[in-house]
Amino acid sequence: MKFLYFGDKHERPDVPENRTDDYHASVNAKTEEIKALGKKHQVKAFLQPGDFLHKPKNSYEFIGDLVKRWSTVDMFETLGEMMLGQLSVDEVAKKLESWTPILGAVGNHELFGESLKSYPKTTLSFLEKIGFMHFPTKEKPFIFTDDDGLTVAITATSYDIGMDDDSRLDDYIIEEKAGDIHIHIVHGFLTNKDMGDMFPHTVLDKIAKKTKADLTISGHDHIGFPLTEVDGKLFVNPGSPVRMKNDKKEMKRRPKVLLIEATKEKGLTVKSIYLKSAQLGEDVLSREKVEERDARNAQMEEIKSIVNKAQLSGGANIKDIIKDIADNKHIDEALRDEAIELVSEKMDAIQKTTTTSVDYTIEKVVLENFKSHVHSEFNLSKGLNVFIGESGAGKSSIMSAFDWVYENAGRNPRRLIHHGKDYAKVSLYLSNGYIISRVVEKKKSGKNGYEVYNPLTAQVEEYNTKSLELIQELLGFTKLDIDTDKDIPLNFQRQGDGWFFIGGGFTPSMRAKVIGSVYQTHFVDAVLKDLEAETKKLNQSEKEKSLQLKETESKMTQYEHLEDTKKNLAILEDKMANLKELKAKKESIENKYNELCHIKGSIDKKEHEISQLAKIEDALKRMDEIVAHSQKRNLLQERLNRLDKMKQEAHIAKSHLEKLSGVEKARQLLERTEEVKAKRNLLQTQFDTYAKMEQERVQLKEKVDKLEQVMEQVKDLEKAEGKLRELRLLATDRFRLAEKTSELVLIREEGKKAVVEDKRAEEALRSIATEYKKLLRQVGSCPVCRSKIDEKRIDEVLAVQVG
């Protein structure tokens, strides 16, 4: 299993000031060589220690080109071919096998204010989200496994404020290995020898015996140190593959990468591979800037001595200064870290991201229809150029032209157009091939912006005035930001301005900020300014709160009785609770009382119904008596009627018997007929009475059934014992009714017997009528009127007598 490691790459769109070659071509050549080495050795991953990018924020155009250059597989082209059907899924999968991931740490150049908290805002965070780079940690290592089952763990520690402090040694230490072989990468200044107090760093001896990592690789330092073994563990920093500084060590150094191989048989081996694409330092780096910088540094020594009085141990980083002061003054670490964080935030707000342009000279300036110049060309030489002429000849216009191009000076650029002309244009011809032109047309809808001839593309690119920052980057126009709303141009001086720093245009506070910018103390001033403003607000707020407190305290006297009121309120609350409890009991009693009333009403209703039953019983008794009397009366009346009729018939028969000797016998028969008829009528009356009583019995039974249903509904009522007694009485009444029914049955039996006797009487009557008819035929005359009688008349007489 193999891995390829390369150091701080510092990918950037601009060119370092010390490079004399085609820097981007050189960097791209190294990138291609690194990719080729990875493919040749079939590495599992590329490893890098951070500072892959030179600054935290980059344009999308640059990042798009960067991703394309570093990708071992063109994902967009591959997916496009798959969508067009030119590649199958298996072919795409096979093509993706050649994809080599990049693993490592985050460097200080890739963070705002060197704070890891700013990481989510950086370009590197975006690259991680799209899967271009990966950042393993000690908590979440990347584990690789080969065919033999060997595991290699990769972890990394990213840069953060306070790196390489003795309290941060754990950044370099692996306490427990996460694989058979463990490789740990750190973006910190790890060295194999003590550098004293020159700058923060970590000496190898402090961590070598504590870590369990098989290989520890550091970045940050571009020079690096050779492979060192301690107790069977390896430590190395091969340095950066790019060279940007022009010190003597950097110029002599040969850029290289590391080929790391892990096997079960040999364990871990590390081999240095020097990049063939890297040229000699003397051919690509210039010492001219170093010499100029040395001269300037000598002039700054006096200023630095002032800062040294602040008991600083060394270094020109404001965070280091704060830390040193905090250590010397024994300030709490939490307060120190808060101060560093505030300064970092202010640096993000004030400090603008700038790029360093390649040195150039202005070879020619052309003014077209600009102020007093209709068309003027000035060829400039390297060094000092002096414009000489009479007053009003246009010398100031030339300086205004530079001001217009560099800073877009002037609120109304159309007022700069020469009288009678349609446009104004100022063009600067630079020694690096660029031509920067500021142009404005007279008509409102006309052009108002910049034209840039790019020698790399041989094309003219147009920009509006909002792109001034880009133009200033191309021109190398540099400003020193000394506050959020104040900056000072460092390489441009307007006509009439005093000399930089010592001129009358610089106030003492501005000079202090310029000096402070050397150590970045102007960021501290800006923070102090904010804190003072915040303190004023807090003091004012404190005054207002104090007044409010006094007013509140004076008003509090009105409520001194509240303590007693509180006690009384507690007593009242207890009483209220008791009252609520009593109220609940009262409501419960009322509900039960209402239920009792409802039950009592139901009982009264049932008692009334039962009393009605008693009345019905009395009525039945009276009805029985009435029926009995009525039967007797009807019977007597019928008997009386029959008796009267029989008397009449007997009288008639007697008269006939007196006349006829055989009539006596007929009379006797007639009397018997009358008796039978009377019995028949009596039986008919009794039968009618029985029918009525039967009907009344059925009606009474229906009422009793209804009452039984009503009594079934009151069974579930409380205290129903009394009702049971009444039901027993009702059952007694029902028993009596049953007795009455039995009597009716007896009457019905007697009626049946009477019917039988009636039939017998009818038969006897018919027999008597036959004999009587014979007698009438023998007599031959009517027994009443003595008239002659025929057969028809005999039938009429029999019908009247017999019925």
CA distance 282 to 21: 11
Residue 735 DSSP class? H
Q: Going edge to edge, which strands form the sheet with 215-218? A: 142-145, 151-157, 181-186, 215-218, 233-237, 225-230
What value, to the nearest 5°, has the Cα angle with vertex 157 and ends 155 and 163? 160
**Torsion sign over Cα 117, 118, 124, 128:** positive
What value, to the nearest 5°, has the Cα angle with vertex 163 and ends 62 and 123? 15
Q: Name the least confident of 308-312, 337-341, 367-371, 565-569.
A: 308-312
pLDDT at 481: 67
Q: How far is CA 565 from CA 96, 118, 559, 570, 802, in A?
A: 82, 57, 10, 8, 116
Buried b (16+ CB within 10 A) or exposed e, 594-628: eeeeeeeeebeebeebbeebeebbeebeebeeebe
Closest CA to 105 of 3, 219, 261, 236: 219
Does the pLDDT value for residue 383 go beyond 60? yes
Q: Categorize the per-residue pLDDT at 649 as very low, low, confident or very high, splitting at 50, 70 and 90.
A: low
Using one digit for the tens of pLDDT, what is the confidence trace for 678-737?
666 776 676 666 667 667 666 666 665 665 565 555 444 445 455 556 655 665 666 666
Q: Categorize the per-residue pLDDT at 312 as very low, low, confident or very high, splitting at 50, 70 and 90.
A: very low
Q: Categorize the per-residue pLDDT at 613 as very low, low, confident or very high, splitting at 50, 70 and 90.
A: low
- Domains annotated for the chain, with CATH where assigned, are 2-284 (3.60.21.10), 320-351+487-560 (no CATH), 362-475 (3.40.50.300), 590-802 (no CATH)
Please tell me which residue, 298 or 145, carries the higher pLDDT value.
Answer: 145
Residue identified by tokens 């021109």 is 475
Tell me the DSSP string of 339-384.
HHHHHHHHHHHHPPP--PPPP--EEEEEEEEETTEEEEEEE--SS-
Side chain identity at residue 558, one-letter code: Q
What is the pairing mode between strands 233-237 and 215-218?
parallel
Does the pLDDT value for residue 259 go beyond 80? yes
Q: Categorize the per-residue pLDDT at 617 as very low, low, confident or very high, splitting at 50, 70 and 90.
A: low
Packing angle of the helix pair 721-779, 562-659 (nearest 10 deg): 20
Residue 88 falls in which region: left (phi positive, over 0), alpha (psi -120 to 50) or beta:
beta
CA distance 409 to 426: 13
3-state secondary structure of 47: strand
Spell out the alpha helix ranges (H) of 491-561: 508-518, 521-556
pLDDT at 104: 95
Side chain identity at residue 99, one-letter code: W
Please tell me which residue, 751 or 37, carries the higher pLDDT value.
Answer: 37
Whole-prediction pTM: 0.42
Copy the structure tokens of residue 196: 């004293």
Per-residue pLDDT, averaged over 741-759, amounts to 63
Q: Categorize the per-residue pLDDT at 95 as very low, low, confident or very high, splitting at 50, 70 and 90.
A: confident
pLDDT at 309: 47
pLDDT at 90: 75
Closest CA to 477 of 465, 490, 464: 490
Closest CA to 242 of 228, 259, 225, 224: 224
Helix (H) or strand (E) holding 427: strand 423-430
Residue 97 DSSP class? T
CA distance 5 to 255: 12
Does the pLDDT value for residue 93 go beyond 90? no
Side chain identity at residue 311, one-letter code: Q
CA distance 745 to 768: 34
3-state helix, strand and coil shares in percent for the chain, rounded to the nearest 5 = 55, 15, 30
3-state secondary structure of 380: coil
CA distance 372 to 398: 10
Q: What is the phi/psi pair of residue 413, to 5°?
A: -65, -20
CA distance 379 to 428: 10
CA distance 514 to 42: 53
Q: What is the phi/psi pair of residue 84, to 5°?
A: -85, 0
CA distance 640 to 644: 6
Q: Check if the beta carbon of residue 802 is closer than 8 Å to that of residue 765.
A: yes
pLDDT at 313: 47
Using one digit for the tens of pLDDT, what is the confidence trace for 519-567?
566 667 777 777 788 888 888 888 888 888 888 877 777 777 777 777 7
pLDDT at 522: 63
What value, to the nearest 5°, has the Cα angle with vertex 365 and ends 360 and 371? 140
pLDDT at 725: 60
Rg, C-alpha atoms of the chain = 66
What is the pairing mode between strands 133-134 and 142-145?
unpaired
Tell me the DSSP string of 157-195.
E---TTTT-GGGGGGG--SS-SSSEEEEEE-S-EESS--
Tell the burial category of 164 from Cβ atoms under 10 Å away from its Cβ (0-12, 13-18, 19+). buried
Residue 391 DSSP class? T
pLDDT at 713: 52
Q: Categorize the per-residue pLDDT at 307 as very low, low, confident or very high, splitting at 50, 70 and 90.
A: very low
Q: Check if the beta carbon of residue 182 is closer than 8 Å to that of residue 174.
A: yes
Q: Categorize the per-residue pLDDT at 2 as very low, low, confident or very high, splitting at 50, 70 and 90.
A: very high
CA distance 322 to 340: 7
Give 379's strand partners: 364
pLDDT at 543: 86
Q: How far is CA 216 from CA 49, 228, 269, in A?
A: 11, 10, 13
Per-residue pLDDT, averaged over 311-339, amounts to 67
CA distance 723 to 602: 11
Tell me the DSSP string of 688-702.
HHHHHHHHHHHHHHH
CA distance 33 to 273: 11
Please tell me which residue, 356 or 540, carries the higher pLDDT value.
Answer: 540
User: What does the chain come to in residues?
Assistant: 803
Closest CA to 141 of 105, 100, 107: 105
Residue identified by tokens 């369990």 is 212
Using one digit for the tens of pLDDT, what is the confidence trace for 5-56?
999 999 999 888 778 788 888 999 999 999 999 999 999 999 999 999 999 9
pLDDT at 214: 96
Does the pLDDT value for residue 300 go beyond 80? no
CA distance 507 to 495: 19
CA distance 199 to 316: 9
CA distance 571 to 562: 14
Please tell me which residue, 769 or 657, carries the higher pLDDT value.
Answer: 769
Closest CA to 385 of 376, 371, 395: 395
CA distance 618 to 485: 120
CA distance 634 to 547: 120
Packing angle of the helix pair 663-713, 791-802 (nearest 10 deg): 40
Q: Name the least confident of 47-56, 183-192, 340-349.
A: 340-349
